[in-house]
Structure 1
Amino acid sequence: MDFSNNILETIGNTPLVKLNKIVAEIDALVLAKVETFNPGNSVKDRMAVKMIEDAEADGRLKPGGTIIEGTSGNTGMGLALVAIVKGYKLICVISDKQSKEKMDILRAVGAKVVVCPTDVEPSDPRSYYSVSKRLAEETPNSWYVNQYDNMSNSLAHYEQTGPEIWKQTEGKITHFVVGVGTGGTISGVGKYLKEKNPNIKIWGIDTYGSVFKKYHETGIFDENEIYSYITEGIGEDILPKNVDFSLIDGFTKVTDKDAAVYTRKIALEEAIFVGNSAGACIKGLLQLKEHFKPEDVVVVLFHDSGSRYVGKMFNDDWMRERGFLEENVTKAEDVIKDHIDKELIVVRTEELVSHAIERMRKYKISQIPVVDINGFVGSVDETDLFRSYVEDKNVAEKPIKEVMGKPFPIVRLGTPIEEVSKLFSKENDAVLVDLENGHHHIITKYDIIGSIK
């Protein structure tokens, strides 16, 4: 009988898949190492097992202990699988930019999840680096993994991933392209491949807001480069010990938008449902195309599954809010088409100011048209109401007609977006669209900004 003794024995030996349509402009053979075939659906399963086994061997992790780690989600999943099989407790400290799916999956496999703010310095006591260390100090019989500086991370890829790629390509690989976060994958695979053939080029994919590319090129750790970014799984605001810059031939940076757009393209053009860092890798690969020749064999690593980004890159509303959807917005109807069926919230002239405030809170809106039996006669927004409240603390019990401003301008569905934009001013924060069926819709400044590409 052919079976595994537990799920950990199924880690590794992931397939190498030829990419076709999405890399049509690259004159070389491009192969994807699809790490979603690991049981935890990511490349991080490999190093999770290695780090725990090494910690058990030297006594850092004792029976019944608690494993503590700061993670973007995938390492946490790998650690969770090992913790279940080996009988450990797990606390994952995760930043709030990570997808809800990642957090839910971690909880589903028994991990306690602690969420920390993203936009803080690594040394800030609220950062997920600092919180991880503090929890490790406060929790009895615990072990802080620290995947960034734990060299078992890169060793796992030196012992497993590198040899697999070499064997699968029959030693013909000429380039390895991979996103860089902790640095374990690029350094471990890179070390093995360069030992086999020093001419193999190792390229890292970085993101804007991260320090890797400039540090590699200049040796300067530039704190001015550090800012919050959306792309998950790659880039850092620290220099992990696992990043061996001497093994890396170069970096290219990919924008948040390009990473998100290409994440979706991989699914639509190659039928491979993978995550955000894979999109960054493909866009980075295309940026590097002049480095490849027809006889080259280029291997790009796909880190994790697209299932962890269903609420983000694979969600049209999420993409649209960030201006990542390639849509042609030319008319008023283009701005409202995805929520055209939503009811227009209004307030009547004789209703109280308190009713308008209550409606704003309930529907999370900032402007409301005012109507009477004849139609639109005015408008109120949160700025007007705040100003009125400062002047008169009893304003909440006054009728809307006493505080309302001018009615919002009304345009037709086919009005050019340029003309709609001109109607916004300091005095006017919204425009109404006549739906030509007796109903109207509202366009706010936020909607216009969201439509800008």
Structure 2
Amino acid sequence: MKYCDNILETIGNTPMIKLHRVTATLPCTVLAKVEFFNPGNSIKDRMAVKMVDVAEQKGLLKPGGTLIEGTSGNTGMGLALAAIIRGYKCIFTTTDKQSKEKVDILKAVGAEVIVCPTNVEPEDPRSYYSVSKRLATEVPNSFYVNQYDNLANRDAHYEQTGPEIWEQTDGKITHLVVATGTGGTVTGTGKYLKEKNPAIKVWAIDSYGSLLKKYFETGVIDMSEVYPYITEGIGEDFVPENYDMKVIDKFEKVTDKDAAVMARRITKEEGIFVGYSAGSAIAGILQLKENLKPTDVVVVIFHDHGSRYVGKIYNDQWMMERGFLDVKTVKDVINGRRNQPLVTIGADEKVSEAIARMKKYDIEHIPVEKGGEMIGAISENGLFNRLIDDGNLKDALVKQVMQTSFPLVSQDTPIEKLSVYINRENGAVLTKDDSGNHHIVTKYDIIQALGR
């Protein structure tokens, strides 16, 4: 029989997948090392188990002990899996910029999670670094993992990730690209690959708001480089000990928006449901494409799974609120009509008057109004069918023949979402502007907006 004794034995040997559409403008071959195939859905499983192994070997972690760590989510998941199998407890600190999904997942696997503020200095007692260190001194029989300075982090990638990539590319890799945070993946993997072939280039992708690129280029820790950013899991406001900058050939910064938009593209165009840092990595390669040639084989790390970000980068509302999503909304349609007044009909007016207004304003749909409220709707198609059957219907009151009112949607609804509401039976929607005035959006309006 072929089976694994426990979930930890499924870590590693993740697939390499060639990218096509998002890298179409590049002259070279780009292969993604897709790390969400690990059981905890991220590359951090590798180093999490390695750090536990080393701690056990050194006698730093005793039976029934507690693992304490500051994590953006993925390392915590790997540690939690190890804790389940090895019989440990977990207490994790994280920041309030991390996705809710990450926190919920950590709790689901039995960890206690403490959320700390993002926008404080690492030394601030409220920071997730400081809180985790303090807890390690207060909780009996505990071990502070410290992925940032624990060199077992980079050793895991030297022993596992690097050799896998070398074997999977048959030694043909020319560039390794890693969106980097703790430094373990880029340093450990890069070190192994450069020992096999010193000509291999290692590119680290950083985020605006992080000081790593400036430190790499100047050796100076410049805190003026540090400011709040949204991208999760990469960049730092200090330099972890896992970094060996001699292994890295270039740092490149990518904006929060470019990373988020690219992650969505990878998912939609390649069918690989990736996390935020994968978007950073591919956006970084595209920014550096002038350094690539047709014979190059670029391996990029896709760290984690998109399910960790469904409430953020895969949420249209979240993206639009931050100006990351360039989509047309109902508000854009309304603004494009230059505030044309809404044509309505009273519930107690005659159908003949509704027909006259349709002809006068060349419209097909009229909301029915009573006392300032929209209580129903009249449409050209609906009237036509009924007038064929009953020519005297023109003298009836609107309220006797009206249909249900058009659906009311918010101004920030993307046009593409209106197909849920506009169909054969219902030809329009209503919305309210900031002043409380009603506006109508029809199939024709949508066609016009999408054609601009």
| Alignment TM-score, normalising by the size of structure 2 | 0.75
1:77 paired residue number? 77
Q: Does 1:25 align with 2:25?
A: yes
Task: State the Cα deviation string for residues 11-66 of structure 1 (Å, max 9, x = none).
Answer: 00000000000000010010000000000000000000100000000011011000
Name the SS for the 2:166 alignment partner. Answer: helix
1:3 paired residue number? 3
Quote the offset at 1:431 in angstroms: 3.5
* Inter-partner Cα distance in structure 1 for 2:252 and 2:3: 42
Query: What pairs with 1:45-60 in structure 2 (closer than 5 Å)?
Result: 45-60=45-60
1:355 paired residue number? none
Assess if the C-alpha contact under 8 Å between 1:329 and 1:335 holds in 2.
no
- One-letter amino acid of the counterpart of residue 62, structure 2: K
Quote the offset at 1:126 in angstroms: 0.2
1:199 paired residue number? 199
* Inter-partner Cα distance in structure 2 for 1:174 and 1:221: 30
2:285 paired residue number? 285
Task: State the Cα deviation string for residues 384-437 of structure 1 (Å, max 9, x = none).
Answer: xxxxxxxxxxxxxxxxxxxxxxxxxxxxx9xxxxxxxxxxxxxxx953443259
Task: State the Cα deviation string for residues 260-311 of structure 1 (Å, max 9, x = none).
Answer: 1011000000000010000110100100111111011000000000000000
- One-letter amino acid of the counterpart of residue 20, structure 2: N
2:142 paired residue number? 142
Structure 2, unmatched stretches of 5+, are 337-370, 374-410, 412-432, 442-452
2:103 paired residue number? 103
Quote the offset at 1:334 in angstroms: 5.7
Summarize the Cα distance change of 1:212–1:335 in structure 2 as closer, same or farther, 3 Å threshold: farther
Q: Does 1:67 align with 2:71?
A: no
2:185 paired residue number? 185
Structure 1, unmatched stretches of 5+, are 337-372, 376-412, 414-428, 438-453
Query: What pairs with 1:34-53 in structure 2 (closer than 5 Å)?
Result: 34-53=34-53
- One-letter amino acid of the counterpart of residue 321, structure 1: E
1:407 paired residue number? none
- One-letter amino acid of the counterpart of residue 150, structure 1: N
- One-letter amino acid of the counterpart of residue 200, structure 1: I
* Inter-partner Cα distance in structure 1 for 2:152 and 2:222: 28
Quote the offset at 1:374 in angstroms: 8.0
Assess if the C-alpha contact under 8 Å between 2:334 and 2:439 holds in 1.
no
- One-letter amino acid of the counterpart of residue 61, structure 1: L
Query: What pairs with 1:193-272 in structure 2 (closer than 5 Å)?
Result: 193-272=193-272
Assess if the C-alpha contact under 8 Å between 1:332 and 1:433 holds in 2.
no
- One-letter amino acid of the counterpart of residue 439, structure 2: L
* Inter-partner Cα distance in structure 2 for 1:433 and 1:14: 55
- Two-structure CA RMSD over aligned residues (Å): 1.9
Name the SS for the 1:191 alignment partner. Answer: helix
- One-letter amino acid of the counterpart of residue 249, structure 1: D
Q: 1:435 aligns with which of 424, 439, 443?
A: 439
- One-letter amino acid of the counterpart of residue 306, structure 1: G
Name the SS for the 1:312 alignment partner. Answer: coil
- One-letter amino acid of the counterpart of residue 131, structure 2: V
1:154 paired residue number? 154
Quote the offset at 1:333 in angstroms: 3.9
| Alignment TM-score, normalising by the size of structure 1 | 0.75
Quote the offset at 1:244 in angstroms: 1.0
1:115 paired residue number? 115
Query: What pairs with 1:171-182 in structure 2 (closer than 5 Å)?
Result: 171-182=171-182
* Inter-partner Cα distance in structure 2 for 1:171 and 1:374: 73
* Inter-partner Cα distance in structure 1 for 2:18 and 2:372: 65
* Inter-partner Cα distance in structure 2 for 1:436 and 1:119: 43
Quote the offset at 1:335 in angstroms: 7.7
Name the SS for the 2:435 alignment partner. Answer: strand
Quote the offset at 1:326 in angstroms: 1.2
Name the SS for the 1:155 alignment partner. Answer: helix
Assess if the C-alpha contact under 8 Å between 1:190 and 1:202 holds in 2.
yes
Quote the offset at 1:242 in angstroms: 0.5
- One-letter amino acid of the counterpart of residue 78, structure 1: G
* Inter-partner Cα distance in structure 1 for 2:46 and 2:335: 46
- One-letter amino acid of the counterpart of residue 114, structure 2: V
Summarize the Cα distance change of 1:268–1:135 in structure 2 as closer, same or farther, 3 Å threshold: same
1:379 paired residue number? none
Task: State the Cα deviation string for residues 217-263 of structure 1 (Å, max 9, x = none).
Answer: 11111101101100001000010000111110001100000111011
* Inter-partner Cα distance in structure 2 for 1:227 and 1:374: 49
* Inter-partner Cα distance in structure 1 for 2:217 and 2:250: 8
Paired residues, number = 350
Summarize the Cα distance change of 1:8–1:332 in structure 2 as closer, same or farther, 3 Å threshold: closer
Summarize the Cα distance change of 1:332–1:294 in structure 2 as closer, same or farther, 3 Å threshold: closer
* Inter-partner Cα distance in structure 2 for 1:329 and 1:436: 13
Q: Does 1:314 align with 2:318?
A: no
Summarize the Cα distance change of 1:213–1:436 in structure 2 as closer, same or farther, 3 Å threshold: closer
- One-letter amino acid of the counterpart of residue 325, structure 1: L
Quote the offset at 1:330 in angstroms: 9.7
Name the SS for the 1:22 alignment partner. Answer: coil
